[in-house]
Structure 1
């Protein structure tokens, strides 16, 4: 398989194209281009090499070429990203979430083996957890791929509709 780093003639975006398709769409401006007419900065059989060339070109454009050159290779960037910042537990602790409660919810979800939609994840948390707090509902919903912002909006709607009551921080589905 071949990989090519190509550039958009309309907006200047760079992306990697696999193979030799008839057309390719710019990921930034969504313009369709005939592959044969796209400017190819590099063509290679190594996908990582193509990604590295694209990343280097973007770093040079942004004036960060020297910093990028200090990396051993493109995959090292992924290793640095994994090591940077806080762990998941540190992040949850800083956000005021009890990680032990999250672990307990994880175990319950894994044992149940279910996959829930957004709305159903919130309602199931309210039904199955014993007077859960908002953070416990968020943790339960997060295990089903539901973001905290959605949980907040859903709980607000349920409160306004009179479907949920809150007493001393504990929520109960009516």
Structure 2
């Protein structure tokens, strides 16, 4: 496959075209061009090389050619961008936000996201655990604030209603 760096005759935008299509649309002004009439700055078999040439041309246009030359390769640009600037924690700290409090709120949100009602806790335990025993269902439900007496009553009701069966020590939803 070949890749060409081409330029729009109307607005001057640069983009990479794969193959040799009949027409290609400018991503900026959206004008359709005959591919054969577009100026091809570089044609290569390597997509990354084509993108690197395009990025270099854009950097030179913007007067940042020297900064672009400091980057080893186009494919490492993402790593370069990650290393530039502040981390999220540094940004929040500079804005006066207590990052420890933010972490505590995130923990509370994660815990409450799995908050279940009493019956939901019992049914979720039956659905998610493999052949759960009564003790395992009680343990799961207890993690969601449901007491053991309720679990026993709920299991009996679910059995009577035919929604769950008891097989040896384990329970299974029907």
Structure 1 residues 111 and 42: CA distance shift in structure 2, 3 A = farther
Structure 1 residues 71 and 101: CA distance shift in structure 2, 3 A = same
**2:71·2:80 contact (CA, 8 Å) conserved in 1?**
no
TM (norm. structure 2) is 0.54
Is 1:20 equivalent to 2:16 in the alignment? Answer: no
Aligned residue in 1 for 2:59: 59
5+ residue gaps, structure 2 = 115-174
Counterparts of 2:65 and 2:14, CA distance in 1:
16
Instruction: Return the offset for 1:105.
Output: 4.1
More displaced, 74-83 or 9-18?
Answer: 74-83
**2:25·2:32 contact (CA, 8 Å) conserved in 1?**
yes
**2:5·2:42 contact (CA, 8 Å) conserved in 1?**
yes
Counterparts of 1:17 and 1:62, CA distance in 2:
22
**2:7·2:38 contact (CA, 8 Å) conserved in 1?**
yes
Aligned residue in 2 for 1:139: none
1:15 alignment partner, SS class: strand
Instruction: Return the offset for 1:111.
Output: 7.0
Instruction: Return the offset for 1:5.
Output: 0.8
**Alignment deviations for residues 43-94 of structure 1 (CA, whole Å, 9 cap, x no partner):** 2222211111011112222333333233322233322211111101111222
Structure 1 residues 25 and 102: CA distance shift in structure 2, 3 A = farther
1:11-160 equivalent positions in 2, closer than 5 A: 11-107=11-107, 108-109=109-110, 112=113
Counterparts of 1:11 and 1:73, CA distance in 2:
27
Structure 1 residues 15 and 109: CA distance shift in structure 2, 3 A = farther
5+ residue gaps, structure 1 = 114-174
Counterparts of 1:78 and 1:104, CA distance in 2:
30
Instruction: Return the offset for 1:40.
Output: 1.3
Counterparts of 2:17 and 2:28, CA distance in 1:
14
2:86 alignment partner, SS class: coil
Counterparts of 2:21 and 2:112, CA distance in 1:
45
Counterparts of 2:111 and 2:5, CA distance in 1:
42
More displaced, 97-106 or 21-30?
Answer: 97-106
